[in-house]
């Protein structure tokens, strides 16, 4: 009874809000509407996808019936995607009329919602090993260390003189920063002596270095973890001075106090200390038997003559080698908030939950949306959010590609200064923009087209024509502590993460720009729609044009090199994105002409719909499609938060994430909140009723 | 004096001397049966220039640009089976001149590409598993337990390390995924990560750290793993199995290392420097570490990537070019870069030959050298860096002593799976198996 009421209500709500025709496709009519879908496939798609043995992109729409299509939610999602972005049918094929397109889209959307709902189990966040960034943070917090464990180049931007104050909701106008991988001496930090880091985990195919399927365990790595347990606790720096929990954990209990039963009290003291410690390390209360094992371990050390402090050190060395510490996981049985606390904490802080999160988990109130919202706000204001800034933006923007970008020295001598490269400064600009948008809770459209940026003097001058000329502080040739100043932007050719020198340089070759690389970067990062890896049988362009091509523009040269029709599908999608940025040379400076004096042609069409003449109009068209960017960034965040690639069910969650973010003026913190409150993040159970979560199609 | 003259020295990095650790044992227990068989795979990324490597192809057309969709030879492949004595070596193979009698060139072997993953990523990561496409569920990769681990199940049981994985990848940027940097896998999705840093390799093999104190830690955390296992969903349990396996492996490793302690103390190998090493020196140092591990009985099975797949980032090939170069980018530009690419191919071959030389200098009890007791296979997952072909791969099998017929060029008929060679090797190593991945037969011409 209840479920019928819910069904009707939900269906009514759908009609009311979306205006797209789900109700009229109620069950009897469904068969017909599915027929329409297949008719449209036959008319527009099958000549490349199914007929005569053609199955481009491995898609066969001939040998497929309604049932198998509905069962294949990945395919439904992909079909929806290519239609939604107007990638298919390709330009040279018979065009798909607008009404047919929306019909197909709404049908596919309906199928997606249903197929997702039919799945018996929701997509659990998979078990995963901590990566070394998380391990570093978790160990620091577990012992309340006053230094770091290891210095990690993947934490690109080093903070000097403490500018980062998220609680203030305001970024300082002048900040002092360093570049760990590219700056001078930036890897020299106060840390535990004698502790060696385990190797960096490589990025996953689909993005981040925290993805479950890429983080496996091997004897080699396990050796590192076991050795780390020893070397951390044996480090000469692991002392009262550096270890915050020293006094109430490693310090021997007061021996002078009078005791009735010294031995029992001693054991009980150890037991109490370890109970608290294990609960923190393992992110949930520990069972009696587990506690007893660790107590017995510590006690046996003491009995064999080890000092109290050393026995406790030996015990915690084991704790941080335990799978309950090293792995993040959802317990299949537990119906509690501890897992949520851990997920939340590792998403925003890359570390263990703190006391407050643990308390809320204990009272089983964390999942309540009012409590959760409050916690997100608190966490966003805590300095630990710096760890999010240390991991997410660099990886999202793929900025580590800049580390190895070395333009030709003769052609771009200005890129080099003393023994260093301008990229040391460049790399920090988008990171500072991201931090500002986050802690000032600005609209994420600032990441596309900002009205301010942070520049150092050196960086501003390197921009040439695009310099703001407003950087007044800091020296010119700094290589350790770099001074960046917030400057307003009036020239819309600069600003945002898409046109800055860092991205322009890392997506170029040594001699020339690479519009396809830029386009692929853009599609992946800004629209979360990475092109397939290039199986293009097209010769890569030579860095220097051969004689017969010397008078051509890059666009002409590329089209000359791309004659096959089956490449067009992808290139129609990514080329306009790359060519829109052609005015930026291989080190991010503005140019109107190529070296051969040919005019640069950056015009194009976005999603085969919006014409643009230059990069400023290009930014306008992206802003017009800003909800796609919101969805993309939301998707990146969700994948980062859940440590896995997105699945069809997440599309439904993303619909709601976008809606809620739009309602809140596209603000960054609202987006993060919406990601956390989404069923994909909160519920580790099946999506309940498809109609309740049915999407709103713009 | 005789005692001393029998002593062999290996020249280590920076001219230091690496003394053979086995001299005393030789005198005592010199029977051939006690000498283990070993297996090594030497992986060359991004294929080779066919004209320089394959006999009879020196006049073939040079592939133009990136022919990523071709995935087959441009020239005509010899379609029929033949075995000929290996006489004149092609330019890329010339460094092997002194080893002609100890190697086999094998041409005509193929892998089948499974659509849906990057061609470079798959050619490396699936090189040693070569599963039948679409048979491994829940993954885009035809990737299963790789040959080295299957063989180690047979011959790695008594050494401290079942296998060792080396990759000469000195890149600092985190650009490519694990699939580009690893040919060794415990199983689908379960990576056997390689060591890139010679200092880490040295520490692992010869560290004097007392590891026995870890024993009580491992039994404690194993108990945690057991209780955790019961709380997890099935798919997560499988992931946690990696932890169990790792701990158990380490426990065995600790026992065996401590049993070998006295022997290992005799190994005289200078600790690798922290300083930057030119590419060739770096590769050879990694090679020295691998050879000494085989020689000292630390392992019987090793994989060695002379560089990672693709990884566009240029780096210095000190002896070859003045500026940093990207092997991958050059491979897409063969028409122009062919001479430089041939230098890279030859450079990689020289590193392979360096290992053969090193191993051939190590005498084994009962006669023969370490090389004679090792199957060491040179190969790439691509038949050419431009065509990205998975067919007619460049393969050289060296060593194996009198168990192998050597000095031949074996050409296998078109369509012969690479897995046939892997099956042959697995059986030679004593693995009792009917079929390996997509194998159809063994390469009998190889067996003496």
Contact A210, A396 (CB under 8 A): no
Q: Is A536 on the interface with B (CB under 8 A)?
A: yes
Question: In the predicted model, what is the mean pLDDT of residues A447-451?
Answer: 97
The region of weakest confidence among A280-294, A543-557, A561-575, B273-287 is A561-575
Residue of A nearest to B188 (CA): A213
Predicted pLDDT at A552: 79
Q: Is A223 on the interface with B (CB under 8 A)?
A: yes
Contact B102, B112 (CB under 8 A): no
Q: Which residue has the higher pLDDT, B291 or B75?
A: B291
Partners of A318 on chain B (C-beta within 8 Å) are 216-217, 220-221
DSSP, collapsed to helix, strand or coil, labels residue B103 as strand
Cβ–Cβ below 8 Å for B65 and A540: yes
Question: In the predicted model, what is the mean pLDDT of residues B404-422?
Answer: 95
A622 Cβ contact partners less than 8 Å away, ≥ 6 residues apart: A448, A449, A498, A526, A606, A629
Predicted pLDDT at A697: 32
Confidence of residue B209 (pLDDT cuts 50, 70, 90): low
Residue bearing tokens 């599609």? A523
On the question of pLDDT at B308 being above 50, the answer is yes
Q: What is the pLDDT of residues B122-160, one digit of tens each?
A: 999 999 998 888 888 777 889 999 999 999 999 988 899
On the question of pLDDT at A26 being above 50, the answer is no
Strands (E), A302-449: 327-328, 416-417, 420-421
Contact B154, B428 (CB under 8 A): no
Cβ–Cβ below 8 Å for B173 and A400: yes
Q: Is B338 on the interface with A (CB under 8 A)?
A: no
Contact B244, B284 (CB under 8 A): no
Between the alpha carbon of residue B257 and those of residues A476, A611, A662, the distances in Å are 55, 69, 61
Question: In the predicted model, what is the mean pLDDT of residues A461-470?
Answer: 95
Question: What do you get for the CA distance between the two ends of chain B, in Å?
Answer: 38
Between the alpha carbon of residue B118 and those of residues A509, A594, B260, B327, the distances in Å are 21, 33, 43, 17
Find the CB nearest B333 among A332, A542, A561: A542
Q: What is the pLDDT of residues A614-639, one digit of tens each?
A: 999 999 999 999 999 999 999 999 99
Question: In the predicted model, what is the mean pLDDT of residues A354-377?
Answer: 95
Cβ–Cβ below 8 Å for B176 and A331: no
Cβ–Cβ below 8 Å for A540 and B329: yes
What distance in Å separates residue B175's CA from the closest CA in chain A? Answer: 7
pLDDT cut 90: percent of chain A above it:
54
Predicted pLDDT at B213: 67
Q: Is B215 on the interface with A (CB under 8 A)?
A: no
DSSP string over A274-303: HHHHHHHHTTSPPPHHHHHHHHHHHHHHHH
Respond yes or no on whether the N-terminal peptide bond of residue A89 is cis (omega within 30° of 0): yes
Find the CB nearest B221 among A223, A321, A329: A321
Across-strand partners of B428? Answer: none
Q: Is A122 on the interface with B (CB under 8 A)?
A: no
The region of weakest confidence among A31-35, A115-119, A478-482 is A115-119
- How far apart CA A401 and CA A517 sit, in angstroms, is 12
Q: Is A227 on the interface with B (CB under 8 A)?
A: yes
| ipTM > 0.85 (yes/no) | no
Across-strand partners of A49? Answer: A55
Residue bearing tokens 């069904």? A7
Q: What is the pLDDT of residues A200-229, one digit of tens each?
A: 787 776 678 888 888 889 988 998 899 899
Find the CB nearest B313 among A205, A333, A404: A404
Q: Provide the edge-to-edge strand list for the sheet that holds A482-488.
A: A157-160, A174-179, A482-488, A452-455
Cβ–Cβ below 8 Å for B173 and A401: yes
Query: How many CB contacts within 8 angstroms connect chain A with chain B?
Result: 173
Residue of A nearest to B139 (CA): A213
Question: In the predicted model, what is the mean pLDDT of residues A528-548?
Answer: 67
- How far apart CA B194 and CA B324 sit, in angstroms, is 24
Residue of A nearest to B323 (CA): A408
Cβ–Cβ below 8 Å for B69 and A203: no
Mean pLDDT of chain A: 85
Pick among A154, A182, A212, A223 to test the B interface (most B CBs inside 10 A): A223
Q: Is A91 on the interface with B (CB under 8 A)?
A: no
Confidence of residue A256 (pLDDT cuts 50, 70, 90): low
Partners of A202 on chain B (C-beta within 8 Å) are 174, 176-178, 181
Predicted pLDDT at A11: 38
The region of weakest confidence among A53-57, A262-266, A539-543, A631-635 is A539-543
Across-strand partners of A454? Answer: A486
Residue of B nearest to A539 (CA): B65
Return phi, psi of residue B105, to 5°: -90, 125
Find the CB nearest B332 among A322, A332, A540: A540
- Which of B 161-200 lie inside 8 A of A, CB atoms? 165, 171-179, 181, 186, 189-193, 195-197
Q: Which residue has the higher pLDDT, A21 or A634?
A: A634
Q: Is B316 on the interface with A (CB under 8 A)?
A: no
Between the alpha carbon of residue A335 and those of residues A359, A362, A364, A366, A676, the distances in Å are 16, 12, 9, 12, 18
Cβ–Cβ below 8 Å for B179 and A205: yes
Find the CB nearest B193 among A153, A218, A534: A218
Residue of A nearest to B165 (CA): A220
Predicted pLDDT at A143: 97
Q: Each residue of A39-69: b (16+ CB within 10 Å) or e?
A: ebbeebbbebbbeeeebeeebbbbebeeeeb
Cβ–Cβ below 8 Å for A214 and B233: no
- How far apart CA B325 and CA B399 sit, in angstroms, is 33
Cβ–Cβ below 8 Å for B239 and A212: yes
On the question of pLDDT at B102 being above 90, the answer is yes
Pick among B221, B257, B322, B341 to test the A interface (most A CBs inside 10 A): B221
Predicted pLDDT at A335: 57
Residue of A nearest to B313 (CA): A404
B137 Cβ contact partners less than 8 Å away, ≥ 6 residues apart: none
What distance in Å separates residue A393's CA from the closest CA in chain B? Answer: 15
Predicted pLDDT at A350: 97
Between the alpha carbon of residue A372 and those of residues A283, A366, A389, B199, the distances in Å are 18, 6, 21, 47
Which of B395, B431, B305, B389 lies closest to B75 in space, CA to CA?
B389
- How far apart CA A40 and CA B74 sit, in angstroms, is 40
Cβ–Cβ below 8 Å for A214 and B178: yes
Residue of B nearest to A319 (CA): B221
Pick among B70, B177, B387 to test the A interface (most A CBs inside 10 A): B177
**What is the pTM assigned to this prediction?**
0.82
Predicted pLDDT at A257: 63
Find the CB nearest B217 among A181, A317, A406: A317
Strands (E), A415-535: 416-417, 420-421, 452-455, 482-488
Q: Is A187 on the interface with B (CB under 8 A)?
A: no
Q: What is the pLDDT of residues A313-337, one digit of tens each?
A: 999 999 999 999 999 988 755 557 9
CA dihedral of A351, A356, A360, A362, whole degrees rounded to 10:
80
Cβ–Cβ below 8 Å for A226 and B69: no
Return phi, psi of residue B45, to 5°: -80, 155
Cβ–Cβ below 8 Å for B177 and A205: yes
Predicted pLDDT at A543: 66
Q: Is B217 on the interface with A (CB under 8 A)?
A: yes
Q: Is A297 on the interface with B (CB under 8 A)?
A: yes
């Amino acid at each position: 009874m209840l479920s019928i009421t819910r069904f009707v209500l939900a269906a009514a709500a759908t009609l009311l809000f979306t205006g797209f025709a789900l109700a009229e496709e109620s069950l009897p009519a469904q068969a017909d509407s599915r027929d329409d879908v297949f008719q449209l496939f036959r008319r527009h798609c099958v000549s490349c996808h199914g007929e005569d043995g053609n199955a481009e992109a491995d898609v066969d729409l001939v040998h497929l019936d309604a049932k198998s299509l509905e069962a294949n939610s990945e395919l439904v999602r992909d079909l929806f995607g290519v239609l939604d972005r107007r990638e298919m049918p390709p330009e040279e094929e018979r065009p798909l009329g607008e009404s047919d397109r929306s019909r197909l889209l709404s049908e596919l959307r309906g199928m997606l919602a249903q197929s997702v709902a039919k799945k018996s189990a929701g997509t659990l966040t998979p078990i995963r090993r901590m990566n070394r960034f998380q391990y570093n943070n978790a160990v620091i917090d577990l012992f309340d260390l006053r230094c770091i464990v290891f210095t990690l180049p993947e934490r690109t931007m080093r903070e000097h003189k403490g500018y980062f104050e998220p609680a203030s909701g305001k970024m300082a106008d002048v900040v002092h920063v360093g570049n760990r991988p590219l700056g001078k001496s930036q890897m020299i930090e106060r840390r535990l002596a004698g502790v060696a880091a385990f190797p960096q985990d490589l990025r996953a195919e689909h993005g981040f270095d925290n993805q479950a399927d890429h983080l496996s365990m091997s004897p080699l790595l396990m050796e590192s973890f076991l050795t780390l347990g020893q070397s951390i606790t044996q480090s000469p720096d692991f002392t009262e001075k550096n270890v915050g929990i020293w006094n109430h954990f490693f310090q021997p209990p007061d021996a002078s106090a009078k005791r009735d039963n010294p031995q029992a009290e001693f054991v009980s003291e150890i037991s109490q200390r370890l109970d608290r410690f294990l609960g923190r390390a393992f992110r949930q209360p520990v069972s009696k038997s587990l506690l007893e094992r660790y107590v017995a371990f510590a006690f046996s050390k003491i009995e064999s003559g080890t000092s109290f402090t050393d026995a406790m050190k030996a015990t915690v060395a084991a704790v941080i080698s335990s799978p309950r510490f090293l792995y993040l996981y959802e317990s299949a049985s537990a119906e509690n908030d501890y897992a949520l606390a851990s997920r939340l904490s590792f998403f925003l802080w890359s570390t263990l939950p703190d006391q407050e999160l643990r308390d809320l988990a204990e009272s089983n109130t964390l999942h309540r949306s009012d409590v959760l919202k409050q916690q997100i706000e608190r966490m966003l204001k805590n300095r630990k959010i710096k760890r999010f800034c240390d991991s997410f933006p660099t990886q999202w923007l793929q900025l580590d590609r800049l580390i190895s970008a070395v333009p030709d020295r003769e052609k771009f001598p200005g890129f080099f200064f003393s023994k260093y490269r301008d990229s040391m400064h460049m790399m920090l600009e988008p990171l500072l923009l991201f931090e500002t948008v986050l802690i000032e809770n600005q609209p994420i459209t600032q990441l596309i087209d900002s009205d301010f940026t942070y520049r150092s003097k050196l960086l501003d001058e390197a921009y040439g024509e695009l310099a703001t000329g407003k950087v007044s502080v800091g020296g010119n040739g700094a290589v350790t502590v770099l001074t960046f100043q917030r400057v307003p932007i009036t020239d819309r050719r600069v600003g945002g993460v898409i046109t800055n020198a860092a991205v322009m340089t890392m997506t170029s070759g040594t001699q020339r720009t690479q519009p396809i690389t830029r386009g692929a970067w853009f599609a992946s990062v800004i629209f979360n729609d990475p092109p397939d890896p290039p199986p293009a049988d097209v010769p890569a362009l030579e860095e220097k044009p051969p004689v017969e091509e010397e008078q051509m523009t890059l666009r002409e040269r590329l089209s000359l090199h791309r004659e096959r029709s089956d490449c067009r599908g992808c290139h129609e999608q990514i080329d306009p994105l790359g060519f829109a940025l052609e005015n930026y040379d291989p080190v991010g400076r503005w140019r109107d002409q190529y070296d051969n004096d040919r005019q640069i042609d950056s015009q194009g069409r976005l999603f085969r719909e919006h014409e643009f003449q230059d990069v400023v109009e290009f930014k306008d068209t992206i802003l017009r499609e800003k909800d796609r960017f919101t969805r993309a960034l939301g998707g990146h965040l969700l994948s980062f938060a859940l440590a896995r690639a997105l699945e069809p069910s997440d599309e439904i969650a993303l619909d709601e994430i976008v809606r809620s973010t739009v309602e809140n003026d596209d603000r960054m913190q609202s987006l993060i909140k919406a990601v956390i409150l989404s069923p994909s993040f909160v519920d580790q159970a099946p999506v309940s009723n498809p109609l309740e979560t049915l999407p709103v199609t713009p | 004096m005789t005692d001393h003259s029998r002593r062999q020295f290996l020249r280590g990095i920076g001219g230091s001397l690496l003394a053979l650790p086995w001299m005393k044992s030789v005198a005592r227990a010199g029977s051939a049966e006690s000498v283990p068989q070993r297996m090594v795979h030497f992986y060359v990324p991004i294929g080779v220039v066919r004209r320089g490597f394959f006999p009879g192809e020196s006049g073939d057309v040079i592939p133009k640009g990136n022919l990523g969709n071709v995935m087959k030879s441009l020239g005509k492949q010899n379609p029929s089976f033949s075995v000929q004595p290996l006489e004149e070596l092609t330019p890329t193979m010339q460094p092997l001149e002194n080893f002609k009698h100890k190697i086999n060139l094998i041409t005509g072997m193929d892998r089948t590409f499974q659509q849906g993953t990057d061609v470079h990523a798959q050619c490396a990561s699936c090189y040693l598993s070569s599963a039948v496409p679409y048979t491994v569920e829940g993954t885009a990769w035809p990737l299963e337990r790789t040959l080295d681990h299957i063989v180690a199940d047979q011959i790695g049981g008594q050494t401290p390390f079942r296998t060792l994985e080396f990759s000469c990848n000195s890149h600092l940027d985190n650009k490519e995924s694990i699939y580009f940097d690893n040919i060794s896998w415990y199983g689908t999705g379960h990576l056997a990560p390689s060591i890139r840093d010679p200092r880490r390799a040295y520490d692992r093999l010869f560290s004097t750290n007392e590891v026995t104190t870890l024993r009580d830690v491992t039994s404690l955390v194993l108990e945690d793993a057991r209780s955790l296992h019961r709380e997890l969903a099935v798919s997560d349990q499988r992931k946690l199995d990696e932890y169990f396996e790792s701990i158990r492996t380490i426990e065995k490793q600790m026992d065996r290392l401590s049993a070998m302690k006295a022997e290992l103390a005799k190994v005289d190998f200078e600790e690798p420097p922290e300083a930057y090493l030119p590419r060739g020196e770096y590769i050879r140092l990694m090679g020295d570490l691998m050879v000494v591990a085989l020689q000292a009985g630390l392992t019987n099975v090793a994989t060695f990537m002379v560089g990672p797949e693709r990884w566009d980032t240029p780096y210095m090939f000190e002896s070859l070019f003045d500026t940093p170069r990207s092997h991958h980018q050059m491979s897409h530009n063969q028409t122009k870069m062919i001479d430089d690419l041939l230098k890279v191919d030859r450079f990689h071959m020289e590193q392979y030959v360096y290992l053969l030389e090193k191993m051939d200098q190590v005498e084994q009890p009962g006669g023969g050298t370490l090389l004679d007791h090792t199957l060491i296979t040179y190969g790439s997952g691509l038949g050419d860096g431009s065509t990205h072909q998975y067919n007619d791969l460049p393969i050289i099998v060296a060593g194996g002593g009198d168990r192998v017929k050597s000095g031949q060029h074996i050409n296998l008929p078109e369509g012969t799976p690479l897995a046939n060679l892997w099956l042959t090797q697995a059986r030679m190593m004593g693995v009792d198996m009917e079929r390996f991945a997509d194998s159809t037969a063994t390469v009998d011409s190889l067996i003496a």
